[in-house]
Structure 1
C-alpha cells in the first residue's frame, strides 16, 4: 500500500522542491512552440491539485488563474507585437488603434503559456513550503550560514507584524479624531502619517531581534544544532528524477506539426 504522505507535496524537502523545477524552467526559456509550455503547465497544475492540499480561495485561483493569465498575456503581447515580425498578418480583431494579427496572436499565446508554466512550476514550492522549513533546509543541506538564514527568517516575520502595527495605528488615529479627508490625495497623506510610527516600530522590533540573536549566541560558533530538522529522503530523490524525466519527455511529446511551432 502506498503511503498517503507520498502524494502530499508538503512532505518533501523544500530545497528539492525549489531546485527540481529549475531545469524545466530553463527548457521553457528556450522553447517557442505552443505544446511544450502547455504540457509543462498541465503537469505542474496536476501536481498542485493532486498533492498541494489546496483549499478555498487558493484552490479557486489555482484553477481559474492560469487560463485567465494566459488570456490576458495573449491579447497584451499580441496587440504589441510588430506585424512585420510574424508570418500571418490576417487581422482578427481591432481594439481602438491596435490590431490583433493572427501571427501575433500565436506569438502572444506562446509567451503567455511560457510565463504561466514558469509561474505554476514556481508555485509547486511556493504553495507547499513553509518559510522556516526552507531556511532550515538551506542551512542544513546548502551550507547557508545560519546567522544569515535566521536573520532573513526574522525579516520575513516583519511582514505580518507590519500589518498588525498598521491596524493599531489606524485605530489610534481614529480614536484621536485624526481625519485626512477623502480622495486619493487624502489617502496618500494618511499613509504618510502612518509611515513614521511604522518605521519607529520596525526599528524597535529589529533592535529586539538583534539583541535576542546575540543573547542566543548566533554567529559565535561555526554551526548550530537544529531542534526541527528537515531531512533529505528517498522520495526527494524520486521527485528530482521525476522533474528531469518530464524535461526529457515533454519536448518529445510536443510534436512540431501539432504544436504550432513559431520558428
Structure 2
C-alpha cells in the first residue's frame, strides 16, 4: 500500500532512504536532537544541526523544491521570532539603537541569531521526516510498537481522515452560499456564519462516525488485531544511530568551541 499524503507530494515507493523507515522511528529520532537544542541557546549548536541536515538531505528522497515548499512557513516564522528577540532580548555590550523598551545591542543581536537558527534546526528536521508519513502507518506503529490505547489511536486517525472532508465541506458551503446570494457582502459576518455552519456539520459527522465505529467494534475491550504488522528493521536502527550521533556531535562542537550556553544557568 502506498503512503499517500493529503498533499500528494511523495509516495513511499518513490521516497528513498529515511522515508523507508517506520513512522514511529521518524517520530522519535528528532527527540535527542531537540532536547540538546533546547538545553542551550547559542548559534553554534543550531548551525551544527543545520549543517548535519544539509548533509543528510540528499538521503531523504525529496527534491529541493519539495523541501522549500513544505518548509516555507518555518522560513517565515523563524525570522519573525528573531526580530522580537532583536528588539526585546537581553541587552548587553554596545547599544546600537534604542526606542522605549526596544533596544538593539550586541547581546540582543546574538540572541536573535541564535533563536532563528534554533527554530530552523528544530522545525526543519521534523518537516523532512514527516513529509511522507501515512497516517495509517503512524497509527499502526503507535498502537503496535509504542502500545498506545487502540481507542485513542483509531479515534485520532479517524479524525485526521476527516480533514480532507472538512476542506471539501468548506468549499461546497462557500459555493452554496454564493449561489443563494448571501455571501456577497460583509466578510466578517460571512466568515462567522460559515464557521458556525461548519461546526454544526462537523459535530453531526463526528457523531455518525463515532456510532459507526462503535457498531463495528472499535470501542471494545477485547484486544484487537491489525490488518498490517508494524515492525522495526535495520533502517530504523541506522536512523536512530544517526539521530544520536548528530545530537552528540552538536554537544561536542558546542562545548569544544566554548559556546555552550545552558539555558537554566
**CA pair 122-246 structure 1, distance change in 2 beyond 3 A:** same
Distance 1:62 1:179 in 2: 32
Q: Which residue of 2 aligns with 1:123?
A: 127
Q: Which residue of 2 aligns with 1:89?
A: 94
Cα drift, residue 174 of structure 1: 1.3
Secondary structure at the aligned position of 2:123 is classed as helix
Q: Which residue of 1 aligns with 2:50?
A: 41
- Please tell me whether the aligned partners of residues 22 and 141 of structure 2 are also in contact (alpha carbons under 8 angstroms): yes
Tell me whether 1:53 sits opposite 2:62 in the alignment: yes
Q: Which residue of 2 aligns with 1:243?
A: 243
Secondary structure at the aligned position of 1:219 is classed as coil
Secondary structure at the aligned position of 2:196 is classed as helix
Offset from partner CA, 1:52-86 (integer Å, 9 cap, x none): 42464x43346776665554433321111132xx2
**CA pair 209-71 structure 1, distance change in 2 beyond 3 A:** closer
Cα drift, residue 121 of structure 1: 2.9
Distance 2:23 2:47 in 1: 25
**CA pair 191-71 structure 1, distance change in 2 beyond 3 A:** closer
Secondary structure at the aligned position of 1:172 is classed as helix
Distance 1:172 1:65 in 2: 31
Distance 2:175 2:84 in 1: 42
Cα drift, residue 199 of structure 1: 2.5
- Please tell me whether the aligned partners of residues 34 and 261 of structure 1 are also in contact (alpha carbons under 8 angstroms): no
Tell me whether 1:31 sits opposite 2:35 in the alignment: no
- Please tell me whether the aligned partners of residues 18 and 239 of structure 2 are also in contact (alpha carbons under 8 angstroms): no
Q: Which residue of 1 aligns with 2:231?
A: 231
Larger radius of gyration: 1
Cα drift, residue 16 of structure 1: 1.1
Distance 2:171 2:72 in 1: 31
Distance 2:140 2:54 in 1: 27
**CA pair 220-21 structure 1, distance change in 2 beyond 3 A:** same
**Could you say what the CA RMSD is over the residues aligned between the two structures, in angstroms?**
3.0
Higher mean displacement: 10-19 or 123-132: 123-132
Offset from partner CA, 1:20-57 (integer Å, 9 cap, x none): 2111111111113321111112223443453042464x
Distance 1:121 1:114 in 2: 12
Q: Which residue of 2 aligns with 1:196?
A: 196
Query: What is the aligned counterpart of 2:154 among 150, 153, 166?
Result: 150
Cα drift, residue 255 of structure 1: 5.8
- Please tell me whether the aligned partners of residues 81 and 104 of structure 1 are also in contact (alpha carbons under 8 angstroms): yes
Gaps of 5+ in 1: none
Query: What is the aligned counterpart of 1:175 among 179, 193, 199?
Result: 179
